[in-house]
A and B are shown apart, each in its own frame.
Chain A
Amino acid sequence: DAKTTQPTSMDCAEGRAANLPCNHSTISGNEYVYWYRQIHSQGPQYIIHGLKNNETNEMASLIITEDRKSSTLILPHATLRDTAVYYCIVRVANYGQNFVFGPGTRLSVLP
């Protein structure tokens, strides 16, 4: 079973920031938080991952709480092309483990 819980769906206005929450209260000390997204009929696309510090790249920012039991993915200026299912996954970042996908959050960016 997936180790994370996410809202089923969210809406966001185009141009505004999209904040996608994820709860992972049973995360272990050596597990990273990964975010992927899947646009309709495509393979999952990597967005960002982190261990305990906040992370930022050209796509998004990842904010992890100090106790690491939850995190938020931030898309700073959502566009219509960001409409997708977003998956939050916790995983040990080394050899061996596959990704376990939960149902994710269906983000709809509205014009």
Chain B
Amino acid sequence: GAVVSQHPSWVICKSGTSVKIECRSLDFQATTMFWYRQFPKQSLMLMATSNEGSKATYEQGVEKDKFLINHASLTLSTLTVTSAHPEDSSFYICSAREVGGLGEQYFGPGTRLTVT
């Protein structure tokens, strides 16, 4: 089956620093990737939709200048959390939509971000 990877799987950073999270589709091409955030004991919430070669679309309440998304190729999207603060600590999950067919989506394993 289609595989989506995320790197790193977990990261600890200091407040005020920036962190980059990568999402890769390993065996298929994805024109669209989605970024979700999940706080403890809560469900996944969509943050943004990223289309290859164009600007990401952010959900209401998500600061585009804080969460920078780049989708430069059909297999890679990156999420950069700029000037991270402790309230940004969360589980970040990406999914990639396969080109062709029914456009099924496959989820990555998630990245645990802890800001100290």
Contacts and interface: CB of A to CB of B under 8 A. Distances in A.
Interface of A: 36, 38, 41-46, 87, 93-96, 98-104
Interface in B80-116: 91, 93, 95, 97, 102-110, 112
Interface size range of chain B in the complex: 20 to 34
- List the 5 closest pairs (A to B, CB-CB), nearest first: A43-B107, A101-B44, A101-B43, A95-B103, A43-B109
B67 interface: no
A41 B107 contact: no
A99 B105 contact: yes
Interface of B: 4, 6, 32, 34, 36, 42-46, 49, 91, 93, 95, 97, 102-110, 112
Given A41-B110, A44-B93, A98-B34, A103 B105 contact: no
A94 B101 CA distance: 8
A101 B110 CA distance: 15
24 contacts: A36-B107, A38-B44, A41-B112, A42-B109, A43-B6, A43-B93, A43-B108, A44-B95, A45-B107, A46-B107, A95-B32, A95-B97, A95-B103, A96-B103, A98-B46, A98-B49, A99-B34, A99-B44, A99-B46, A99-B105, A101-B36, A101-B43, A101-B44, A102-B43
A44 B106 CA distance: 9
A42 B110 contact: yes
Contacts, number: 50
A99 B95 contact: yes
B103 A44 contact: no
Dominant secondary structure of chain B at its interface with chain A: strand
A93 B44 contact: no
B43 to A, nearest CB: 4
B74 to A, nearest CB: 15
A44 B112 CA distance: 14
Contacts of B109: 42-43
Given A98-B34, A98-B49, A44 B44 contact: yes
Nearest to B105: A99
Given A43-B109, A103-B43, A104-B43, A94 B95 contact: no
A45 B107 CA distance: 7
